[in-house]
Amino acid sequence: MEKSFYTYQTDIGKTYFGERDGAITDVFMTDDGKPPFTATYRETPLIKEAARQFNEYLAGKRKTFTLPLAPEGTPFQLKVWAALSAIPYGETRSYQDIALAVGNPKATRAVGMANHHNPISFIIPCHRVIGKNGQLVGYGGGLDLKKRLLDLERINS
């Protein structure tokens, strides 16, 4: 089935949600107004539900998402994204922690690249990954947004 996507204005800016075959495939922000994939612009019930849950998260009223997810990536990326999904709300892990969790302790840079290519931002919580020394590093939405999300979770934990 063809992928659908729809855009909503959220508290953090214009956010895009993508769906295919009854599962969320993408959540992202972009400045150019176009998704990085071919899709039909239409709001589906699942996309609408994803946006509702995301807005609840941003309001501090939701700690977990109950959505079917289908991220598209390599087997290694899928393992990394599964490890990210296991990071509890309000907690962080280092890139090294994730490399260990996926069984490849020398893959910290590869974990960073998988994190960078996470197609379901926020819901697969790549913002919860920090540098080994505890510093905020590497976030596609910018470090200010990463800090804002981590602060939101810390306050509401």
Which residues belong to the active site? 126
Of all helices (H) and strands (E), which one includes residue 153? helix 143-156
- Compute the distance between CA of residue 38 and CA of residue 42 in angstroms, rounded to an integer: 13
CB atoms within 10 A of CB 150: 19
At residue 18, what are phi and psi to the nearest 5 degrees? -120, 150
- Compute the distance between CA of residue 14 and CA of residue 31 in angstroms, rounded to an integer: 8
- Compute the distance between CA of residue 120 and CA of residue 125 in angstroms, rounded to an integer: 8
- Of 126, 114, 122, 9, whose CA–CA distance to 63 is shortest? 122
Task: For Cα atoms 104, 139, 6, give the angle at the middle one, nearest 5 degrees.
Answer: 110
